[in-house]
Structures are given as structure tokens and as C-alpha cells.
Amino acid sequence: MRIARREFLAAGVAAVLTPNLARADGGTRLSFRGSTEQGGLVIGKAAPGAKISVDGASLLVSPQGDFAFGFSYDRVDAAHVVAQFADGTSEARDVSPVVRQYETQSINGLPEKFVSPSPEELARIHREASLIVEARKRDTDGVGFDEPLDWPFPGIITGVYGSRRILDGTPMAPHLGVDIAAPEGTPIHAAADAAVSIADDYYLDGGFTLLDHGHGVSTCYLHQSKRFVKAGDKVARGDVIGLVGQTGRATGPHTHWGLCWFQVKLDPSRSTLTPEPPKA
Ligand SMILES: [Zn+2]
């Protein structure tokens, strides 16, 4: 199963890589899989012992030679990847993001307290946002990032990554996650092996869990009605971590599912084996 998953994703990458990169990939000491689209999480593999930098910053490399980086939703310039191998040789590659078109989505009828929060509520929002930023700085040696993600539960996608949102007529920041609707109380499963970074109740995000999959890669699960894990817990792919709810800024039962590489918000639907979750 492990090998089948890898081959599947590697094939997906080949289709979107530039011809140069696809050709150079055959059997070299540096290869890429995952998604090279805007919002994509790229998983690199280098010969064990290699040192890797992306855009001049050195990355944590697993003992097997795996590393990760991501393309922000609007990035257009190539990522410059340099591998320095244990034998003293090196190899450089430019990996270009494939540009995407994004939708516009209107949302109406949110309660006023979420549209115009009070100063006290704003202070809480900022405090909670900074806790999440701090947690996403972690660069741990977990290897859960190494395999494609599982959808956290069966459901219907009601919000896609990158859509430009108009909230009660006011343009908002783009939506940098995937909203999956399912009945309240639907079990939410960890998308990959992880350590729990945060499990708490936040003002906008409601019942919130952040899972650290290692090497800066994290997933988050918002608006949960119940949480079953706590910070510091280890979870395996498929473990139930909470239940679908509509806590925080939500207009119906759903989970906002996010994927990040450090602070860069990525599209989790590009790291799963299927573009949509199974139907309930
Ligand atoms: Zn969302």
C-alpha cells in the first residue's frame, strides 16, 4: 500500500511538472512528487545524507532523504532547490508553480459579532492567531508529511481553496483551505500520522486542532463540536480527533480543513489521492 500511494502521487506530479523537470527526474538523486500547482505541497526526495536548501533557506531532511516545501496561492516565481550530496557534488533545480484560476464566493448572513467584532473580541482573535503562528513555526522530525493525506471524513465540499470571498458585500482575504460539510457529530479522522500541536476553543475557529506532520507541514480542523485529543498527543493516520460542528464563525456544520507548510497556507485537496472526499 505504501508503494502504491507513492507511485500514484508521483504520476500526478509528472503531469504538471515542466517538461525539463519531468525529464530530469528519471532516476536521479533528486526528485519531486506531490503537487507543483499554486497552493501545492511538494515532497522532495534526495539521496540520503544530502543537504537541501529552497530559496536559500536550508530545510530539514529526513534520514531517508525526504523534505517538503509549498507554493503559496499566488506564487508565480520558481522555487530554487539546491541539493548538496554527501560525495561533495551538488545539483540545482528550479521548480515552477503551475498557475491556477480561483473562484469568487459570496457569503451572507453571518452574525454581526463575527462581521464587526468588539475590541475585546478583536484582542482575543489576535491572541489566538499568534498562538497558531507560533505553533506553525515548529520544524519537527515527524515523517507523517511523507505520504498523501486522507480526507478527514466523507462529505460535500462547500468552499474551495483560493476563492475570493465577499462577506455581506465586503471583499475578504482569499479562502485558503477547504470547507467540507457533513452532519453535526460526524467523526473527524487525522489525515496523516502527527503530533497534536494545538487543541483548543477559539473565537473564530471554534473547536480547533492543529496537527504537526513534521518538517513544517501541518493540518488544521476548525469548528469542531467536540475534540478528543490534546496538545502533545501522538495520533496515527485515521485516528478520530473530534466531531464535526459549527462552533466559531460558521454558518452550518462543516470543517474548514487547512494544510500549511510553516506559515504558507496550502490546498489540502491537492495532497489527497482523490480531489474530493468520499460521499457520506
Ligand atoms: Zn473555510
- Is-contact 42 70, C-beta < 8 A? yes
Gap from CA of 140 to ligand 1 centroid (Å): 26
Which DSSP state fits 204? T
Q: Which residues contact 202 (CB under 8 A, 6 or more apart)?
A: 128, 208, 248
Q: How far is CA 72 from CA 58, 92, 119, in A?
A: 18, 21, 31
Burial (Cβ within 10 Å: 0-12, 13-18, ≥19) of residue 202: buried
One domain for residues 119 and 225: yes
Q: What is the pLDDT of residue 1?
A: 35
CA of 268 from ligand 1 middle (Å) equals: 12
Q: 258: CA distance to ligand 1 center in Å?
A: 8
**Separation CA 186–CA 240 (nearest Å):** 10
- Which of 31, 60, 95 delimits the end of a domain? 95
For residue 237, count CB atoms less than 10 angstroms from its CB and return exposed for 0-12, middle for 13-18, buried for 19 or more: middle
pTM recorded for the entire structure:
0.89
Last residue of a domain, one of 42, 61, 95: 95
Ligand 1 centroid–CA 254 distance in Å is 8
| Centre of ligand 1 from the C-alpha of residue 190, in Å | 18
Domain count across the chain = 2
How many A from CA of 177 to the centre of ligand 1? 6
Query: What spacing in Å lies between the alpha carbon of 264 and ligand 1's midpoint?
Result: 16
Spacing, Cα 205 to ligand 1 middle (Å): 9
Can you give the pLDDT at residue 168?
A: 78
Distance 257 CA to ligand 1 centre (A): 7
Task: Calculate how far, in angstroms, residue 174's C-alpha sits from the geometric centre of ligand 1.
Answer: 10
Query: How long is the chain?
Result: 280
80 CA → ligand 1 middle, Å: 31
Assess if residue 276 is contained within a domain. Answer: no
In a domain, 275, yes or no: no
- The sign of the CA dihedral 157, 188, 227, 220 is negative
> Locate cell 474551495: which residue?
160
Please report whether residue 78 resides in a domain: yes
CATH number for the domain including 148?
2.70.70.10
Residue range of the domain that includes 65: 2-95
Collapsed DSSP state (helix, strand, coil) of residue 208: strand
Per-residue pLDDT tens, the chain, 280 aa: give them: 343 444 444 444 444 444 334 444 445 799 999 999 999 999 999 999 999 999 999 999 999 999 999 999 999 999 999 999 999 999 999 999 999 999 888 877 777 777 788 999 999 999 999 999 999 999 999 999 999 999 999 999 999 999 988 887 888 889 999 999 999 999 999 999 999 999 999 999 999 999 999 999 999 999 999 999 999 999 999 999 999 999 999 989 999 999 999 999 999 999 999 999 999 8
